[in-house]
Amino acid sequence: MSARTLPLVFVNLGGEMLYILDQRLRAPIASEDTSDKGVWSERDRRRVLNDVTATLFGPSFVDELLKPQQLYSHRTLKTVLTRLAHASIMRLNPASMDRLYELTTMAVKHQVLLCPRPKDLLLVSYNHIDAVRDFVRDSPAVLNQVDQAHRRIIEVYSSMSEGELQLLRQTLLVFFQDMHVRVSLFLKSKIQNPGNGRFALPTSGPVPHGTEVPGLIRTFDRRGREVRRSEFPPGGSYSRPAGGGSFGLHGARGTLLGTNTYAANRPEETLASRASAQTGDAPNPLAKEELNLLARLMGSMGAQDGAGAEGAFRISMFSPDDEEQEAGTSKEAEAFEVISIQATQVGCRWSSHLLSITRTKQNALMLKAAFVPQPVPSLFCILHRQRDMLVFCSAQDEHVASELAQIAGQFSGAEEQAENPCGNKGDDLLAMMDDL
Amino acid sequence: MYHKEKSIQIKNSASALYNNLSVLRIAPRRLTYFTVVHANVVNMVSASWDGLNYSHRQLQSKEPNVATSTSLIMQAAFCVLPSRELLVITSQKGIQMYESDGSIMVYWHALDTPETPSEVNYVPAQAVFARGISAVWENYICVGVSSGSILVFDVPSKGSNITLSEVLEEHKESITDIASECSGSQQCIADLVSADDGGNLCVWKSGEEFQLLNKIPGFDMSCSSVKLWKGTVVAGYGTGQIRLYEAVTGILHAEVNAHARWIYSLDIAPFSGLLLSAAEDSLVRVWHLTVSQETNSVEVAHLHNECVTDTQICGARFCDGDGYAFAVTGYDLSEIIRYTQT
């Protein structure tokens, strides 16, 4: 429908993500790799927020977002948000990323749903931008990027009519449809009903700007003069609209939707309970346009490997007990998806096996060799980006691993020998990106 | 005045789209069809009047013989003509017409997308879609387009030889809804009204060449739903107001501060003059209209409210011409809620 959703989607989802990161990084966290299990230093926290913000509001990324696009699937969005989150010294494991995605999408769904009028969607987005500005207030370069991006967004959206903004909002609502993940923070503040996961919609309070308080019927004569007034029971208690909000670069926005609700709350309250209704992701392979968009967005985010890899802190953002419980149940539980891939025989040094890959409930990949003629010390998989191909080989010794990588590059000219019979190519591609 | 009946469960939840419920009453077979749009799928339910039998069907919006193309659907509506009944589905890609039971597609019309420049994955900044569906007079079906055009299709009494007869270019903003009255033999001065995202209303007389009778300007506020009854245009707006205009002259008869949020659906029961309005504020309201064509006056009286808790309503329709029963759909709700007069 609307081709203008992406910038607002990323500002709002990205903003929510930064709120959560900010809050969780203040909490004492057991970090897997570092020796000191303590609180993240103020400096490191600021660094994470700066790095993520700089990527989210980077000019080339914003360029891509502002191009008219259809809004694609949750999978694509989650991939880009994962990369955003990893644009810093922090590494989130897939389970944490899943939770983070659920929390941020439910928060934005709530904000979009409760917008009194479609134009208020901009105020919500600007609330996010305002808060992000505050996070990076000590870094003038990043602050400047945020301001630039904000200006460009204002330019694009201030000329949109209410009808066009409503279409945009309706497009977002289709995207968030059927998501009813219970969020403990929302349940606690009675924003969400525990029974059905629906958001509470009040039938009282101020009406939006431009709307009159319901209850009045006026009748006119042929000359336009009012001849009668009558009232009817509105079925709710409404009041006149509150003060307006600013649609400019600065100023009070006039709404609490989109502000940082996590700041006042303790970290435990950002838990999302296990999703009851999965988002209705149609099981189509990733559409070509979608892959193209993904490639462009990732490309515009700049090189990821440099700063990240060495000093990377791997953290499990949400309660480790939760995950262990899940790990326990998933061993017994049936695998979510089984994909069989025939590995390619490359040269005479590798042995080829028929491997099965099972996706567990945490979206991790469990590899099991079905036929093992000899011990399998390590399994390597190579993701060949251009050919959408996964090649699994077992290698006898370690130094061979580096040669595998070289050979992957030589595949560009070679005949495709691997078969990727069933299963979802897009799924594999993205799952591998998570684990890189 | 009304009480809630047993809801009908549907396969998917309803999407937040204007006028997202269509009802067709098939008296000879004692059945009622309901359609609700969910993203790129139309859920059809056929409900027997005794409440014992329900059958479901899903229709996707796609070009015939093109497996991979589906697009988001904007609206699905039954069109009742004297000779036949069709189900029309409008989407980002085009317009489909089915036999009323959804069994066979009889016509597909692709929307013109603007000339694409060299870039391969060009997407126009302005959204392209079709929205606003109405049958009019003996043999026309009118469908609105995001550009503001209205496509007039000539529908034969049977078969699939449907042709595009005319394109009405009067609106400059996206069409939101189209409505008619006097379908069939009854003659009216004005028999069609169209509304757009700017709140502008156009009143037409149908025929081999449609005639524009009047243009009622809007106030830059979208008119999401419109109805025509006894020469009166009833229009619902994003501000939550309902306005009643005399179609041919544009004189404002009445203005109702009806809802606290955007109105999504209006319906009129033509035999009784009952008006149904539904909005994002979770409320459905029933009104009574009295149109006196001799004194040229219109009166609006409020009769009843129903609140669907925690739901933004997107569709509301009477199930019969007297307004004895009505049905409601809401965003994210996988049921059609029904109410009947006590």
Residue A334 CA to residue A324 CA, distance in Å, equals 17
Residues 6+ positions from A270 with CB-CB distance below 8 Å: A20, A23, A24, A103, A183, A184, A185, A262, A318
Termini Cα distance of chain A: 34
Least confident stretch, A279-293, A314-328, B195-209: A314-328
Asked if residues B157 and B114 have their Cβ atoms less than 8 Å apart, the reply is no
Does residue B220 sit at the A interface (CB-CB below 8 Å)?
yes
Does residue B197 sit at the A interface (CB-CB below 8 Å)?
yes
What's the token pair of residue B187? 């003659």
**What Rg do the C-alpha atoms of chain B give, in angstroms?**
19
B257 and A292 within 8 Å at the Cβ level: the answer is no
Least confident stretch, A239-243, A417-421, B159-163: A417-421
Average pLDDT, chain B: 91
Tokens 């336009």 sit on residue: A224
Confidence of residue B66 (pLDDT cuts 50, 70, 90): low
* A-to-B residue pairs, Cβ atoms closer than 8 angstroms: 162
Angle, alpha carbons A42-A44-A50 (nearest 5°): 100
Give the closest-approach CA distance of A123 to chain B in angstroms. Answer: 17
Which residues in chain A are closer than 8 Å to B72, comparing Cβ atoms?
1, 171, 174
Give the closest-approach CA distance of B191 to chain A in angstroms. Answer: 22
How high is the pLDDT of residue A404? 41
Query: SS3 of A389, please?
Result: strand
Number of separate domains in chain A: 1
Residues 6+ positions from B117 with CB-CB distance below 8 Å: none
Burial (Cβ within 10 Å: 0-12, 13-18, ≥19) of residue B49:
middle
What's the token pair of residue A17? 């993500």
Asked if residues B242 and B199 have their Cβ atoms less than 8 Å apart, the reply is no
Confidence of residue A39 (pLDDT cuts 50, 70, 90): low
Does residue B109 sit at the A interface (CB-CB below 8 Å)?
no
Asked if residues A142 and A136 have their Cβ atoms less than 8 Å apart, the reply is yes
Q: What is the SS3 assignment for B175-237?
A: EEEEEECCCCCCCCCCCEEEEECCCCEEEEECCCCCEEEEEECCCCCCEEEEEEECCEEEEEE
- Given a cut of 80, whether residue B103 has pLDDT beyond it is yes
Asked if residues A81 and A101 have their Cβ atoms less than 8 Å apart, the reply is yes
Which residues in chain A are closer than 8 Å to B125, comparing Cβ atoms?
3-4, 68
Give the closest-approach CA distance of A24 to chain B in angstroms. Answer: 31
Give the closest-approach CA distance of A417 to chain B in angstroms. Answer: 27
For chain B, what are the domain ranges? 2-111+128-341
| β-strand partners of A152 | none
Which residue has better confidence, B100 or A367? B100
Amino acid at A387: R
What's the token pair of residue B3? 């009480």
Strand B2-4 relative to strand B8-9: parallel, antiparallel, unpaired? unpaired
- Structural domain boundaries enclosing A190: 1-203
B283 and A236 within 8 Å at the Cβ level: the answer is yes
Q: pLDDT tens digits, residue range A155-205?
A: 999 999 999 999 999 999 999 999 999 998 899 999 999 988 999 999 999
Does residue B198 sit at the A interface (CB-CB below 8 Å)?
yes
Residue A101 CA to residue A270 CA, distance in Å, equals 12
Angle, alpha carbons B57-B8-B129 (nearest 5°): 55
Q: pLDDT tens digits, residue range A116-147?
A: 999 999 999 999 999 999 999 999 999 999 99
B257 and A238 within 8 Å at the Cβ level: the answer is no
Does residue B329 sit at the A interface (CB-CB below 8 Å)?
no
Burial (Cβ within 10 Å: 0-12, 13-18, ≥19) of residue A40:
buried
Which residues in chain A are closer than 8 Å to B121, comparing Cβ atoms?
289, 292-293
B129 and A161 within 8 Å at the Cβ level: the answer is no
Amino acid at A422: C
| β-strand partners of A339 | A357
How high is the pLDDT of residue B295? 76
Closest CA relative to residue A66, chosen from A245, A241, A296, A334: A296
Query: SS3 of A34, please?
Result: coil
Do the domain assignments include residue A256?
A: no
Does residue B1 sit at the A interface (CB-CB below 8 Å)?
no
Average pLDDT, chain A: 71
Which residues in chain A are closer than 8 Å to B281, comparing Cβ atoms?
201, 203, 214, 236
Q: Which of left, alpha, beta for B273 (phi over 0: left; psi -120 to 50: alpha)?
A: left
Closest CA relative to residue B68, chosen from A223, A183, A287: A287
Residues 6+ positions from A80 with CB-CB distance below 8 Å: A10, A294, A297, A298, A301
Do the domain assignments include residue A103?
A: yes
Which residues in chain A are closer than 8 Å to B220, comparing Cβ atoms?
161-162
Question: What are the angstrom distances between the C-alpha of A231 and each of B11, B202, B280?
Answer: 40, 30, 21
What's the token pair of residue A37? 């299990």
Residue B67 CA to residue B31 CA, distance in Å, equals 32
Confidence of residue B296 (pLDDT cuts 50, 70, 90): confident
Start-end of H helices in chain B: none
Burial (Cβ within 10 Å: 0-12, 13-18, ≥19) of residue A289:
middle
Residue A123 CA to residue A115 CA, distance in Å, equals 9
Among residues 132-191 of chain B, which lie with CB inside 8 Å of chain A? Answer: 173-174, 176
Question: What are the angstrom distances between the C-alpha of B185 and each of A85, A208, A239, B83?
Answer: 65, 44, 48, 11
Residue A57 CA to residue A152 CA, distance in Å, equals 11
Q: pLDDT tens digits, residue range B196-245?
A: 999 999 999 998 899 999 999 999 999 999 999 999 999 999 999 999 99
| CATH architecture for segment(s) B2-111+128-341 | 7 Propeller (2.130)
A203 and B281 within 8 Å at the Cβ level: the answer is yes
Asked if residues B249 and B213 have their Cβ atoms less than 8 Å apart, the reply is no
